[in-house]
Structure 1
Amino acid sequence: MSCIGVTVAGLWTSPEAPRAIDASALGNPALLEHWLAALDDDTRLALCKEKRLATQVLLDTPVEILERRRDSQGNDWCRVIVPSQPSSLDPRGYPGWIPAAQLAEGDGCLAVTEAVTVVTPVAWLQELPRGRSLKLSFLTRLRLAHPVAKDANRVWVESALGRGWLPRNCVHLPDERFPATAATLERLGRRFDGLRYLWAGNSSFGYDCSGLVHSLFAAIGIALPRDASDQIETGQSVESGERRPGDLLFFEKPDDEGRLVVDHVALYLGDDRMLHSPTNNARVECRRLGGSRYAEQLCAVRRYLSTPEAS
């Protein structure tokens, strides 16, 4: 079984899609924060406008390799699908290209139920082989190495990079779950207030709009498609006036050819408030819907929490 062998890997639209400025995000280790710091407003926007980056995938996430290719610089790439990110682009999972150096194989890659999940915005995986430590994203899942004592302050895990430990207060053990409620979604989402938007971002180093809601719902055990254009096809349709906390709001606007397309999604918090990752070079925010351009662009409401009591 193949899986992601770096903290956060980008899935690119082709092996030729990355630019020189993206080099630090392509290696192993992936220097994600260095890469993000180097991007200015224009180079961030180009990830979207030029359709370069497709999505991101977290350490140890299983992937299926479909094809291998060498780019013009002699670097090896793999076309993969990510089963944990449903997409209409491929019924098997989200498709994209990843540097072969960022993939791993081995026992740490097994998709198992006995997994430890990072539930804080970031957590440090420590005492890896060769004394390495890695900063992991929210929702990274790693295999539990051995049972955890009640008073333990460390949890030992197996990863594609070897054995290490995570702070006990940063993770959920296999039998621990967040309540599937609107209050949980809001509490988790508000921890990312001020986080800068990243096109195709699907980690706590930067989310796009659909990546944020995809991750928040995954945290409470509800699997959504990766992209807003697919998310709108799921859940229960709700009239705009009947929306309640925990619903998703979808927005549309004309594309370059003048056709209305769904291009944004937000989490409804109640009392006319929504939480979202707005657009390029903006930041995750909570704001009023009424009186905004979003109120004019609202096209659909979808519900995933089954009862009012679940909010």
Structure 2
Amino acid sequence: MKKWKRYFTAFLCFCMVFVFLSPASAKTNKEETAYIDVSVATLWTEPNIARDIDSPSLSNPVDMWKWTKSMTYEEKLWLVGNLETQALYGMKVTILEKQGDWAKVVVHGQPTPRHPLGYPGWVPIRQLTKGNAFAKFQSKPFAQVTSPTAWLYKDPKGNHKFMEISFNTRLPVIQSTKNAVKVMTPSDGAKWLKKEDVQIFRTEADIPAPTGEDLVNTAKQFLGLPYLWAGTSGFGFDCSGFTHTIYKAHGITIPRDSSVQAQFGTPVPESELQPGDLLFFAYNNGKGKIHHVGMYIGNGKMIHSPNTSTTVRIDDYRAPGYGEEFAGARRYIHK
């Protein structure tokens, strides 16, 4: 892991230099932080560009299934280039600016050279909360959702549903019983999760270091889940959102985008691939810009979230359409 830490330290330094040299860095305001107050907040490239069909993703609460299942292929394809990323319930963000009912934020924990604090994009202000009470619980152990999605309940017996939340959501633990975990939410007080849907950790550092097989098994939970551009949740992933989230759930933070994921970690010769390694694909027969990432699972196959017309699936990484664009592999874990 020491070698990986050196790579990541270099990456963070690159991020800081990149932003320092950017003209936008001249605009400095008093730092204002907030927390995501919906199950999944979708970040847009600009404010006020969403369509009527996107309404379920803009409200508070959101209805992610209604949104993703209501769109045709063409309507989903329109999202490409109009969305940035997503942030999960309880994630911390820094607000950079506000414009009407929208805020430009950066999502902490999603590394990118575009900003040293995290991934930038626009969200409706209604999906944010100051979370002053919630902030006081951040030093407590957290419950991390391990099911693809899970319900928060108003009661410990799970009779009254409150909100469906995503895989990898982390909420501070107040109390743990035999079958349920009481957690704090960003703005709605204490709620309950079924114990079978979560794991509890004191800190992120306490998450056990995964094997490649652990990563692959986690990824396989999402087989058949439809692709969503910019997706980072159990309601839909894009290719790099998928790999970023699987690693994050195992306590390893890697860059958010495939082009940057391909620059860090340890280069791996194709003859030495192991499960959990990330495979990259580029235009111009693998020589151009990186445009896709998948996770090697063994026997010449990868699991990935390919594009708007497909779902999370397993393919031969050297099959036509992929093989000619193979651009190398990286390893973010060490035996």
**Richer in helix (by share):** 2
Inter-partner Cα distance in structure 1 for 2:190 and 2:128: 17
Q: Deviations over 1:106-133 (max 9, x none)?
A: 22245445211101111110007xx651
Write out aligned runs for 1:40-119 (5 A).
40-48=72-80, 51-70=81-100, 76-106=101-131, 107-109=133-135, 111-112=138-139, 114-119=141-146
1:61 deviates by 0.2
Give the letter for the 2:189 counterpart: G
1:252–1:260 contact (8 Å) kept in structure 2: yes
Q: Which residue of 2 aligns with 1:204?
A: 234
Write out aligned runs for 1:147-166 (5 A).
148-149=176-177, 152-160=178-186, 161-166=188-193
1:239 deviates by 1.6
Write out aligned runs for 1:231-246 (5 A).
231-246=261-276
> Alignment partner for residue 62 of structure 2, among 27, 30, 44?
30
2:151–2:161 contact (8 Å) kept in structure 1: no
Aligned with 1:143: secondary structure?
strand
Inter-partner Cα distance in structure 1 for 2:326 and 2:139: 39
2:166–2:235 contact (8 Å) kept in structure 1: yes
Q: Which residue of 2 aligns with 1:270?
A: 298
| Number of aligned residues | 292
Inter-partner Cα distance in structure 2 for 1:216 and 1:237: 19
Q: 2:244 aligned with 1:219, yes or no?
A: no
Q: 2:291 aligned with 1:291, yes or no?
A: no
1:178–1:184 contact (8 Å) kept in structure 2: no
1:252–1:263 contact (8 Å) kept in structure 2: yes
Q: Deviations over 1:40-82 (max 9, x none)?
A: 000101111xx11110110000001110111xxxxx1111011
Moved over 4 A (4+): none
> Alignment partner for residue 125 of structure 1, among 147, 152, 156?
152
1:241 deviates by 2.1
Q: Percent identity?
A: 37
Inter-partner Cα distance in structure 2 for 1:13 and 1:4: 18
1:179 deviates by 4.6
Q: Which residue of 2 aligns with 1:73?
A: none
> Alignment partner for residue 142 of structure 1, among 150, 153, 171?
171
1:31 deviates by 1.5
Which region of structure 1 is more displaced relative to structure 2, 23-32 or 112-121?
112-121
Give the letter for the 2:233 counterpart: S
With the length of structure 1 as denominator, give the TM-score of the two structures. Answer: 0.90
Inter-partner Cα distance in structure 2 for 1:225 and 1:190: 21
**Structure 1: which 5+ residue stretches go unaligned?**
71-75
Aligned with 2:324: secondary structure?
helix
1:246 deviates by 1.4
Inter-partner Cα distance in structure 2 for 1:58 and 1:94: 13
Q: Deviations over 1:198-232 (max 9, x none)?
A: 00011010000001100111111110111101111
